[in-house]
Structure 1
Amino acid sequence: MTKVKAWTSGESGEPGFAEAFEVARKAVLQVTDIKTNRNKYYAIELHSAEGCEYRFRVFTHYGRTDDLETNPDAGQKECRYFSSLAEAESCFQQIYRQKTSASKGYREVALASTRIGSHQARGTGAGEIDAKTLERLARAKAAEKNGRPAEPPASRLSPGVSDLVRYIYDEAKGALTDTVAARITANGIETPLGILTLGQIEKGEAILQAAYDLFNKKRAKDRDEQLTRLSGEFYSAIPHRIGRSRAAVDAAVISSLEAFAQKQQTLQLMKDMLQVNGEGGDVLFSSRVDREYEALGTRIEWVDPADREFKELSKAVIKSQVKSKTIAVKNLFRVRRDAEWGQFADGVGNDRLLYHGSRISNWVGILSRGILLPKIVVSMGVHRTDAGWLGHGIYFGDAACTSLFYTTPGRRKTRLMAIARVALGKMKDYTKITYGLTEPPKGFDSCHGVRRKFGRPSEFADDEYVIYRPEQQRLEYLVEFTG
């Protein structure tokens, strides 16, 4: 193909083109190469129009991704003009192949709505958009067409529940936007390139899993170099705030258990936030705390500190501490996820109320979809070689101070932990750490890491109770505390 002039936007002598053009094809590409410190985007579009000298053009918009955070119009814009569709398509494909070649390393990104490119392309989808995202977009358009109901004059929630809901949403949104190059808008999770789709997040999960598998192969050839490459691919799929300095870029390589855990938590948080964004598509942006509450799908009731229920449970939390006595209960909430109550394994028996702590940013997800079996976990500053000391299970403790170590404080200096009813059934006791379990031994329903005491040696510093089926637990209370 003959080389065609690339006209810089606004360049003198550039051929005219109709303002009302059609975007026949488009692709949004992204590359993050940690080795060469590249973090760039490249949008390609094929336009067609009537009534002008050239009926077709290939439009490109490219630059550094981090520049878009402060200026969506940053970067270079160029146009190449053609008389025939075949020539324009050939040029489009040539640029696409060149940019996605091994030497350039760009990857196509799936976006529900783009923020870059021509004015006609912005706000439209790019790449292969998954079915769930398409359904959500269709519902959002229908809701917009039908109009929103008037905002109620005031929340119908109790002040205690209203404050909790605002708190956990603010923490989840803050944790996400502090880590990922994104902001929360009426349309969802918006990166500098556009609105992320669920499918794009799942691409990030697949890359992270490949990197994690490689990380566990300690003697793999060129392991460090491959982890650097896969880290770049991960950031190409899920844009992050990395920084431009060499030190910041080097630190972004995903090469420790803590780093994998943090990225997995970020991806899960993104999926949780998309899930609660609701059928209308703007729960995350709405100022109505009632809509945020409804999106959780969990019944939450504030317990008055003067009630006997509060006093008894608060006393039990304080009394359960064995290592430290620092916890002070500030608020108590009854919680009920109907799905958990309906699926609860009543026949297992040996039910106990146990504690489960988690980061403050995780509670929108936990309340909306329940506690998940872990993929990657780092516990109490100790490096684990798999999901936990007793394998891939859901962990609980009978001492609130144990759960404290899994929590983080929020902006109002408080933490959250759940009190769950756990059907332990017949427990298998362990005094030695046993990695890799995916279920209890035959004839048992759960596993118990027995805390060491004087005269009873054990590798467990705390009592840990582990189940391997989510239906063996249900959330019953949420405790807000300091400690």
Structure 2
Amino acid sequence: MAKAKAWKLGSPGEPSFPGDFEIVKRAVLQLTDVVNNNNKYYGIELHRAGNAYRVFTHYGRTDDLETNPNAGAKESRYFDDLASADACYAQIYREKTAASKGYKEVSLASSKIGSHKARGTSSGQIDERTLEKIEGEKEKRAAIPKSTLPPGVQSMLQYVYDEATNALTSTVAAKITAHGIETPLGVLTIGQIERGEAILNDAFKVFEQRGTKAQAELSRLSSDFYSAIPHRLGRTRAEIQAAVLDSLEEFAAKQETLQLMRDMLQVNGEGGSVLYDSEIDAKYKALNCEIGWIEPGTGPWKEIADYVERSQIKSKSVKVRNVMTLKRAGEHDAFTDGIGNHRMLFHGSRIKNWVGILSRGILLPKIVVSMGVKRTDAGWLGNGIYFGDAACTSAFYTSPGKKGTRLMSVARVALGKTAEYTKITYGLNGPPEGFDSCHGVRNKPGTSSQFADDEYVVYRTQQQRLEYLVEFTA
């Protein structure tokens, strides 16, 4: 078959084609190559209008789309029959996805590249959860009355949502719109995030091997990861190469980013506009967590504030600003009643993580669960959920947001019979037989220990439930 001429859009002599055409098939391809400083997209479409056919392509540098949605080159190849057009489409797809070119097809709930008919439509294999969201977007939203939530709760909700959004969009090449998490190519799907997780796991297995060959493979898998999950990598060769996944910290950071993306998609719901909608009640409902306001200065507020501030051992820097009650749907009912020795303990986390924590609870450490590595966050008693009995200890794991305040929870923890440790013990997936929890005992006069602070660990989510959220400065 003779090679068809590629006409640039609007070039002199380009054959005419009806504006009301059908898209027979399409694909959106992405290539991020950290070795050769490539960050490119390539869209292919097969169009039919009566007995006329064309193969439409749109390609360019991905980061150009952020500032100019119409960037890139657009070309068309024209045919008189479907078989010839289909063969051309298949040939281009094979060439671009071959090992020599290295493009990967991405799945988008809503594409931002291609012909005018393709934009705003899905591309690739779309999972059922995303299809449900797309259908939900088609329904008109009813008017939402003015919020009846206490102003303090409204302020906190907006705070955690804003911090999560800023953390996500500053790392991933994406922005939050009414359609969802939009990359320069289009709206990401849950399935695409899962693809990124699979690539990250493969990369970690190579990372464990080390060596020269492993480094080359890490560069390739890093490129695949950024092709699946577009990141803000910079444009220079040095910036691109610096993005190679080759440290525990990098793997942990990317896992955290993917978890943040999952959390944000989860709270976005089937309507697909919670993150974008300014109505705070929709954001509150999406968390599926009861949040109650405790008026500052009242007896209940003083009780919790005093408990937090007086718990400090090494410093007295934690100052409570606001206190809210928490009751996560299902968590209270699932709490283990048969294990005694209940303690009110602290759990701190960066503000960007609180949308996820409030909506799905505290997760067992994923860096351990999926990769089997030693934690990098001082989790020295294996794969568990960690708590402290001193607010200053938990404050170490927090970060200030734009308001300058931080967040930690006060949780009821069923410790039961506790196994005490003075030596760091990696690899635990549960307490020793006959025990219900573990306690890393703090080093102090009379007790020689490798633990700088007291750490309490449970290995079942049913042994803890969130009861208070504390906003503080430190």
Residues in 2 aligned to 1:120 and 1:89: alpha-carbon distance in whole angstroms: 19
Aligned partners of 2:107 and 2:124 also within 8 Å: yes
Aligned to 2:383: 392
SS of the equivalent of 1:474 reads strand
| Secondary structure of 1:118's aligned partner | coil
Structure 2 segments unaligned to the other structure (5+ residues): 369-373
1:187-241 deviation digits (Å, cap 9, x = unpaired): 11000000000000010111111112222334x5612111111111110000011
Q: Is the 8 A contact 1:376 1:386 kept in 2?
A: no
2:60 to 63, 77, 91: 63
Gaps of 5+ in 1: 378-382
Q: Return the offset for 1:313.
A: 1.3
| Cross-structure match for 1:110 | 107
Cα deviation, residue 384, structure 1: 4.0
Deviations 1:85-139 (A, max 9, x none): 1111111111111111111111000000100000011111000000111111112
Please tell me the residue identity of whatever aligns with 1:42.
Answer: Y
Is residue 2:283 matched to residue 1:286? no
| Residue 213 in structure 1 maps to residue 205 in structure 2 | yes
Q: Aligned with 2:330: secondary structure?
A: helix
Aligned to 1:197: 189
2:436 paired residue among 441, 445, 449: 445
DSSP 3-state at the match of 1:112: strand
Report the equivalent of 2:218.
Answer: 227
- What RMSD in Å do the two structures reach over aligned CA positions? 1.4
Give the aligned residue type for 1:430. Answer: Y
Residue correspondence of structure 1 range 132-281 to structure 2 within 5 A: 132-141=129-138, 143-144=139-140, 148-152=141-145, 154-218=146-210, 222-281=213-272
TM-score calculated relative to the size of structure 2:
0.97
TM-score under structure 1 normalisation? 0.95
Deviation at 1:242, TM superposition (A): 0.4
* 1:341 aligns with one of 329, 332, 338: 332
The number of residue pairs the alignment matches comes to 469
Instruction: Give 1:279 deviation, angstroms.
Output: 2.7
C-alpha distance in structure 2 between counterparts of 1:216 and 1:318, whole Å: 42
Q: Which residue of 2 aligns with 1:380?
A: none
> Do the aligned partners of residues 389 and 163 (structure 1) sit closer, same or farther apart at CA in structure 2, a change above 3 Å counting?
same
Distance in 2 separating the partners of 1:410 and 1:62: 39
SS in 1 for 2:402: coil
Post-superposition Cα deviations, 1:124-182, rounded to whole Å, max 9, x if no partner, equal 100000011111111221x23xxx22232x32110110101111111111111111110
- Separation in 1 of the partners of 2:354 and 2:323? 15
Amino acid in structure 2 at the alignment position of 1:84: D
Letter in 2 for 1:233: D
Indicate how the Cα distance of structure 1 residues 336 and 320 shifts in structure 2: closer, same or farther if over 3 A, else same: same
Asked if 2 retains the 8 angstrom alpha-carbon contact of 1:18 and 1:50, the reply is no
1:323 match: secondary structure: coil
Equivalent residues of 2:36, 2:237 under 8 A apart = no
Task: Write the distance in 2 (CA, Å) between the matches of 1:474 and 1:64.
Answer: 47
1:137 is matched by which residue type in structure 2? Answer: I
Distance verdict in 2 for CA 1:386–1:354, change over 3 Å: closer
Look up the match of 2:392. 401
| 2:453 corresponds to | 462
Give the aligned partner of residue 35 of structure 2: 35
CA distance in 1, matches of 2:205, 2:381: 20
Structure 1 CA distance for aligned equivalents of residues 91 and 438 of structure 2? 58
- CA contact under 8 A between 2:249 and 2:376: conserved in structure 1? no
Partner secondary structure for residue 356 of structure 1: strand
Residues in 2 aligned to 1:387 and 1:396: alpha-carbon distance in whole angstroms: 12
Post-superposition Cα deviations, 1:436-469, rounded to whole Å, max 9, x if no partner, equal: 1111122111111111112311111111111111
